[in-house]
Structures are given as C-alpha cells and as structure tokens.
Chains A and B, each alone.
Chain A
Amino acid sequence: MRRGIPARRGATGWLVPLFATVMALYLAAPLVVVAGVSLNAQKLLLFPPQGLSLRWYGNLVTDPGWLGAIEHSLIIAGCSSLVAVSVALPLAHFLWRYRVAYARALFALGIAPFLMPPVITALGMLSFWATIGFYGRIEAVILSHAIFFVTLPLMTISLGLESVEQQVIDAAATMGADERTLFRTITLPLVRPYIVSGFAFCFVLSLNEYIIAYMVAGFTVETLPIKIFNSLRYGYTPEMAAVTVLFVVLAALVFGLIARYGDLPRLLGAWSSRKD
C-alpha cells in the first residue's frame, strides 16, 4: 500500500491545509447550520439555535405522517437494493467467468441509466408503469429504483470478482468441483464484502432518491425526500431539519462502516486491481 509523501513545509506549505479546510467548510456549512436549526426549542428557523431541545426528533417517531414516510423509504430502499444485487450478481459473475459478446452489451445496459440525468429514467419509468397500469404502486418504485441503482452493485461486485485468483478456481475445478460448488465455496465468500458494499451504496442512494419515486408514485407513496419537499413548499417545519440530520448521520455511518471493514479507496478506484 502506498504511503503518502511527508508534507514539505516550504513557502507554499500552508496552502494545502488552507485549501482542504476551505473545501471542508464549504461542504459542511449547510449541514452544520441545519443541525443547529434542528435543536431550536421553538418552531423557528434560527441559527444559532435558541433554547436547546430534541423534541423535533421525537416528533419524527410519533407523528404518523413522518413515520409513514420513514417506513415507505426503508421498505423501498431495502427491497430495491436486494433486487439490484440479485440482478447484478449473476450478470457480473457471468461476465467474469465467460466470454460472450452480448454480455458486454448487458453490462453497458446496467451502467447506462446511472450516467444519464435521472429525470430521463424517471419519465421512462412513468411512461412504462402508466402503460401497464402499475402507476402509483410501491412495487413500481422498488423495481424502478432497483434498475436505476443496479450500476452500483454491478461495479462493486465486478471489482471484487477481479481480485479472485484464477488459479484458485482452476485448482478447484481440476479437483472436481462443479460450477455450483465453485461458486458457493470459493467465489461467493471472496466477493461477499463487495456484495455488501454494493447493497449499502444502493440502500443509501435509494433512501435519498427523489425524482424517480416522485414520478412513479409521488401522490400515493410518500417517501422521506418527497415528504421533505412537500413540507418545504408550505414553509418551514423543524422536523425537516431533524430528518436531514438523521440522513447525514446514516450516510456517514454506512460509508464509515464500509471504510472500516473494507477497502474504500480501492472500491472507489484507487490502485489498479491485480496488475501491480
């Protein structure tokens, strides 16, 4: 693993920490302000907060509106991540194990929706579900999210499979293991962390996704982002600030865990795999 070069304290030595601090402040500022606002004792949009209180956090779990939105969001995120992984795993495995032309095309298909502006996928999904009469159903949101986010587990699992030594597979095959045994006893345990990361990426992004959920079932299935936006239209409520803080904490927790138990820099593409 590469070590960082020791910091040189030259004439420009202070520039680097300054630049990093400015960027950190820019990225943290709105989150810090919202966190502060969420602690206001009164229903006011004030920063610094006046009178500290956690009642808006309490409201989230007692108010049926917010509770319902939390429930919808968790169901959608959980189910769609499962479906996304179930689509990505056989595809990535097939691509890694065999060489056929059309599998590449399928891989491209799995990457495409993620690269385009999401409003396009959202409108495509709206047209599709409206045509077959599933518009407004939670299942439609789940499947739409699964297809939209399939890119993430596809990328992480492919990355994981590339690190599996081909010799190990060959050795097992020589000793008589069939495809099924190979997969169950060698490949699956080795790529499991990558499957989990793919699931986690998918889960967090689905939880935060707005436009597809809104277009497919915005008026019947209220997810958390939709609920926040609807509240935002009618002015400010402190619960919005509280739920925002929860989102930030959850994202940091999930990615922190991935970093703790996995190799985040490698997952994000640092160091070319296997070659070096």
Chain B
Amino acid sequence: MSTRARPQSLRPHLLLAYPALMLGILFLVPFGIMLTISFFHRIEGGFYEPAFDFANYERFVQAYFLRALLFSLFIAALAAAICVATGFPFTFLLSRFRRRTQVLWLVFLMSVLSLSEVIIGFGWSVLLSRTAGLSHLMVALGLMSEPQSWTPGFAAVLCGLCYIAFPYTVLVLYPPLSRLDPELTEAARTLGASPLRTFFTVVVPARRGAILAALILAFVFTLGSYLLPQILGRPQEWTLSVLITDQAIYNSNLPFAAALAVFLMIVSLALIALTLRLGRSGTAERPEPGGAR
C-alpha cells in the first residue's frame, strides 16, 4: 500500500473523468431533482409547478401514511430479527462446513437472492394457495380436513420477506463468521464447553458488531420490498415502498411520492451510517474488557 502514489500527470485524472461523470450525472443529479420535486406544488392532472413548501412533508402526518410507515417499520424489524436469529447460527455452521458443501450452499443462496421479487411472490402465492400448496399436502397426509388458502395475509407477507432477507443476511454475516479464528472455538471446546455453550459464550459475543450490522442491513433490505406486500398481502399490509410507487404512477403525484422517498432515504441512510460506525468498532479484534454491556 505504501507504494501507492499521488498521480504524477493529468492522464489518470482523465481516465477517472468518465466514471465520475457517469455517477455524478446519473446518480447525484437524479437525487437532486427528486429532492427539488419533493418541495414542489402539485397541480391537478399530474403536473407540478416549482414551489418551496413543506406541504408534501406535512401530509405524512395523516393517519393513513403514518400507519403505513409504522407498519413498514414493524414488519421489516420483525423479518430482520427472525432472519438474524436463524441466519447467524446457520452462517456459523456454514462457515465450518467442508469447502465443497460451502460452495454448493453459496451458489444456492446467491441464486435465491438474485431472484426477482415477482418470482418469489408468485412462488409463495402458489405454495400457500388452496389448490397447489402446503395445505393440499397436509390434507393428503391426513393432518388437515380440507385445503385452505393462506394468502393474502400478514403471515404470508412475513414469510415472503423472510425468504428474501434470509440469503441476504447469510451473505452479510458470511465474511465476519468465516474469518473468525477457529482456534477460538477449539480452545473453548478443549476447556470442556459444550458446542452450544461455545456458540453462545464465544461466537456470539465475538461477533456482536456483525450481528447488529446484519440486523440493520436486513431491516433496510426488507423495508425496500415493494412487490411482496402487494402480491401476498391485503391493502392493510402495504408498506411505504408500495405507497410511494402508487403515488408516483397511479396518482401521478410525483411531489408527494418524492417527499415520501426522501423521508425513506433519510431513515435508511441514518441506519446505514450507524451500521458503518458499528462495523468500525466491530472489526477491532480484541475482546472488550468485561464483555458485558
């Protein structure tokens, strides 16, 4: 790293100009426009005029949007908690599997993670449906008297959200857990601790930062889910992401949609900034003195 130098001539800067321009024009400018529009004034018929008022922001306070916001935060937090609670032990085991098994799992997880929400929503709606789903199987096994449909509903949305967030959580936790020194757990085992005790008293405390980071990232990830609440849920299970699109496309109220998006962005950015701070303190390899909170 010490050999990295400051650029001597102008040429390297010219090479950088292209990515800089692309990111500047296609990322910063759109955000600037969106931020500007969020203060604009809407005119009936889908247009808007330049203005500077907070009316769009004041509109959230309406019970309807506030309820949607609270519901989005609640279901995202619940899904994140479930995914980390199952994903953390799972990733720990995964990182201890033989390399071949690990690679197979990683290919499987990446494949699931890359699938479109439309496809996952469709898959779950079939799985929870009356004619082709789980209940059909339960009836065949004699566990239920007649098949029933479990979608749309809260449980179906939660199931779908966990499905998309689980592979994500595992891949977020994979680097910190696979880099965990195996001698740490071996020492605990040699000293007579059971595998479960080793896990809870050695692995979990050693990766507390990673757990928090994974919680927050999974939370932001599920917060962005847009199609699953629509496919698997009823209107009362629609999240803020659904309402943003609704306002932008169907109600042609771009200023209000922009205000909602800016708000969602602030929440996400604040959480990501928190994650980065946690990440920085979490990478310090030394165990905290005292250990307890």
Contact = CB atoms under 8 A, between A and B. Distances in A.
Interface of A: 1-5, 8, 10, 12, 16, 19-20, 23-24, 26-27, 29-31, 33-34, 36-37, 44-47, 83, 86-88, 90-91, 93-94, 96-100, 103, 106, 109-110, 112-113, 115-128, 130-131, 143-144, 146-147, 150, 166, 169-170, 179, 201, 204-205, 207-211, 214-215, 218, 224-225, 228-229, 232, 240-241, 244, 247-248, 251-252, 255-256, 259, 264-265, 268-272
Contact of B4 (A10, A83, A97, A127): A97
B241 A117 contact: yes
A270 B175 contact: yes
Contacts of A247: 115-116, 119
Interface string B194-212: 1110000000000000000
Contacts of A37: 126, 132
A128 B220 contact: no
Interface in B204-233: 217, 220-221, 223-224, 226-227, 231
7 contacts: A112-B27, A116-B269, A119-B264, A123-B34, A128-B34, A244-B122, A247-B119
B5 A147 contact: no
Contacts of B167: 27
A33 B132 contact: yes
A27 B112 contact: yes
B31 interface: yes
B74 interface: no
Contact of A46 (B98, B115, B116, B132): B132
B123 A5 contact: no
Interface stretch (B15-23, B51-59, B62-70): B15-23
B30 A127 contact: yes
Size category of the binding interface on chain B = 35 or more
Given A37-B132, A106-B23, A147-B23, A232 B119 contact: no
The 10 closest A-B pairs by CB, nearest first: A117-B224, A30-B123, A269-B175, A47-B132, A128-B30, A208-B116, A124-B30, A270-B178, A251-B111, A91-B19
B32 to A, nearest CB: 9
Given A27-B163, A46-B131, A215 B103 contact: no
A271 B257 CA distance: 43
